[in-house]
Amino acid sequence: MFPLFLMADPNSGQNPFMSLLPLILIILVFYFFMIRPQLKKQKELRNFRQSLKPGDKIITAGGIYGKINDIKENIVIIEVEDKMRLRVDINSVYRDPADIEQKK
């Protein structure tokens, strides 16, 4: 009926946990090397966006450098050159220019 159950020999005396061990190890490797770092990065980005305040310099997802003028719920009004103001969704704010200077 179920091919997975029929594959194991019932007379072999092998522990059923040992047949699941490779699958469990693969899941653990995926969690610690892929899922956990991504969750940590998302948490840092969320904390960065919540800590934004007027006067902070930012870079948007589109590569626009600006300075925060006002924050309203999920909209950030940034000021770019020549006092031009842009309304940007807060989810498109990725980092501040200080991060780039530290990496150099």
CATH number at residue 97: 2.30.30
- In this predicted structure, the answer to whether residue 86 has a pLDDT above a threshold of 90 is yes
Residues 55, 75, 88, 80, Cα dihedral to 10° = -20
**Rounded Cα gap, residues 46 and 35, in angstroms:** 17
Average pLDDT along the chain = 84
* Amino acid 99: pLDDT: 64
**pLDDT tens digit sequence for 5-45:** 555 555 556 677 788 898 999 999 999 999 999 999 999 99
Bridge partners (DSSP) listed for residue 84 = 80
Question: 2 in a domain, yes or no?
Answer: no
Question: 73 in a domain, yes or no?
Answer: yes
**pLDDT tens digit sequence for 41-61:** 999 999 999 999 999 999 999
Calculate what percentage of the chain has a pLDDT beyond 90. Answer: 63
42 lies in which domain range? 15-51
* Amino acid 104: pLDDT: 55
Question: 38 in a domain, yes or no?
Answer: yes
